[in-house]
């Protein structure tokens, strides 16, 4: 039977956190497949983020994503909302466990190649030197020029070693509060990387749960898929100015959440 509370003329409405809690309780009581499908759709972003963490390691992203989605379904089936913890906190280790099991079953080891490890050490050392020399956080271009390698090699090493933040940490965004600019270093810390935040704490997942569908999509496209505002605007059929405004709003929310959680 269709749950009319969450549909309007065949279209799913945007759900609040209370709506989702209600759905989890209803699913626990009824095992209704339609309710489970809604819960899966609402939380696919978790599978997407964690899949990207393990991509580019010899197995196609689509295969990893399918495994992550299976892990998400397992998590939904096993989640007990009455225990008091957030679903993302429960789902993340479940999904990661399924992905790692898949790699083991395929005979792959999740490790960083030696050349990447060595380059990563050089990058870390160069970041310290360049930060002092330039009096700002170095960009990928700065590091590549200093190490005499390509930007692609720097990005690969930074991502593999979980020290890569998709943009320069000095990229600033206008804040709506106190006429103060904010940057990514303010939000997540110079040595932090979004994916390591996802695996080691539920900070990012909790924050994502407070975003609407458009905000989630823009955040994922910008900081995980590394898309430009122009390409996102074209994909979503909205103006670049709208993308910029939403991005600023999301970054400000991240900054506030990080401060509230004593991350910065």
Whether 4 maps to a domain, the answer reads no
Q: What CATH number has the domain bearing residue 83? A: 1.20.120.1810
State which H helix or E strand residue 188 sits in: helix 184-188
Which residue shows structure tokens 């020290």? Answer: 163
Whether 1 maps to a domain, the answer reads no
Within this chain, do residues 82 and 143 fall inside the same structural domain, yes or no?
Answer: no
Rounded (5°) CA angle 166-169-175:
105
Helix ranges, 17-86 (H):
17-30, 33-42, 44-53, 61-78
From residue 244, give the alpha-carbon distance in Å to each of 220, 227, 241: 14, 12, 5
Chain Cα centroid distance, residue 84: 23
Residues of the domain holding 213 = 187-260
Whether 68 maps to a domain, the answer reads yes
Count of domains forming the chain: 3
Whether 179 maps to a domain, the answer reads no
Within this chain, do residues 92 and 135 fall inside the same structural domain, yes or no?
Answer: no
Whether 169 maps to a domain, the answer reads no
Within this chain, do residues 34 and 95 fall inside the same structural domain, yes or no?
Answer: yes
Whether 230 maps to a domain, the answer reads yes
Whether 181 maps to a domain, the answer reads no
pTM (2 decimals)?
A: 0.45
Within this chain, do residues 26 and 69 fall inside the same structural domain, yes or no?
Answer: yes
Within this chain, do residues 19 and 101 fall inside the same structural domain, yes or no?
Answer: yes
Structural domain ending residue among the three candidates 81, 105, 129: 105
Within this chain, do residues 212 and 239 fall inside the same structural domain, yes or no?
Answer: yes
Within this chain, do residues 98 and 157 fall inside the same structural domain, yes or no?
Answer: no
Q: b/e per residue, 16-47, with b = 16+ CB within 10 A?
A: eeeebebbbebbeeeeeeebbebbeebbebbb
> If you average pLDDT over residues 192-201, what whole number do you get?
39
Within this chain, do residues 248 and 220 fall inside the same structural domain, yes or no?
Answer: yes
Tokens of 79: 């989640």
- Name which residue leads in pLDDT, 225 or 93: 93
Within this chain, do residues 95 and 128 fall inside the same structural domain, yes or no?
Answer: no
pLDDT, residue 261, reads: 58
Q: Kindly give the pairing relationship between strand 7-8 and strand 11-12.
A: antiparallel
173 pLDDT higher than 90: no
pLDDT, residue 168, reads: 40
Within this chain, do residues 132 and 91 fall inside the same structural domain, yes or no?
Answer: no
Within this chain, do residues 157 and 224 fall inside the same structural domain, yes or no?
Answer: no
Least confident of 53-67, 106-120, 130-144, 184-198: 184-198
Q: What CATH number has the domain bearing residue 238? A: 1.10.10.10
47 pLDDT higher than 80: yes
Whether 2 maps to a domain, the answer reads no
Structural domain ending residue among the three candidates 105, 123, 147: 105
pLDDT tens digits, 14-38: 788 889 999 999 999 999 999 999 9
Least confident of 81-95, 103-117, 170-184: 170-184
Residues 81-84: contacts with CB under 8 Å, at least 24 apart: 81/21, 81/24, 81/25, 81/28
> Which candidate, 32, 72, 14, places its Cα nearest to that of 48?
72
| % of the chain at pLDDT higher than 70 | 67
Structural domain ending residue among the three candidates 105, 125, 146: 105
Within this chain, do residues 85 and 157 fall inside the same structural domain, yes or no?
Answer: no
Residue 175 banded pLDDT, cuts 50, 70, 90: very low
């Amino acid at each position: 039977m269709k749950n009319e509370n969450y549909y309007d003329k065949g279209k799913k409405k945007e759900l609040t956190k209370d709506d989702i809690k209600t759905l989890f309780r209803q699913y626990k009581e009824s095992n209704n497949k339609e309710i489970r499908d809604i819960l899966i759709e609402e939380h696919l972003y978790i599978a997407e983020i964690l899949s990207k963490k393990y991509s580019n390691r010899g197995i196609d992203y689509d295969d990893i994503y399918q495994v992550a989605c299976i892990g998400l379904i397992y998590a939904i089936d096993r989640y007990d909302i009455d225990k008091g913890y957030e679903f993302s906190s429960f789902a993340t280790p479940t999904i990661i466990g399924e992905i790692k099991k898949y790699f083991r079953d395929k005979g792959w080891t999740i490790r960083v190649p030696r050349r990447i490890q060595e380059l990563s050490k050089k990058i870390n050392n160069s970041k310290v030197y360049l930060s002092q020399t330039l009096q700002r956080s170095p960009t990928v271009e700065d590091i590549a020029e200093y190490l005499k390698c390509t930007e692609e090699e720097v990005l690969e090493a930074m991502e593999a070693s979980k020290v890569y933040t998709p943009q320069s940490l000095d990229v600033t965004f206008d804040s709506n509060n106190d006429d103060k600019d904010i940057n990514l270093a303010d939000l997540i810390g110079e040595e932090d990387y979004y994916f390591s935040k996802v695996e080691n704490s539920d900070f990012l997942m909790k924050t994502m749960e407070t975003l609407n569908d458009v905000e989630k999509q823009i955040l994922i496209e910008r900081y995980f898929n590394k898309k430009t505002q122009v390409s996102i605007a074209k994909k979503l059929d909205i103006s670049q100015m709208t993308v910029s405004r939403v991005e600023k709003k999301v970054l400000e929310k991240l900054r506030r959440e990080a401060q509230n959680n004593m991350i910065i």
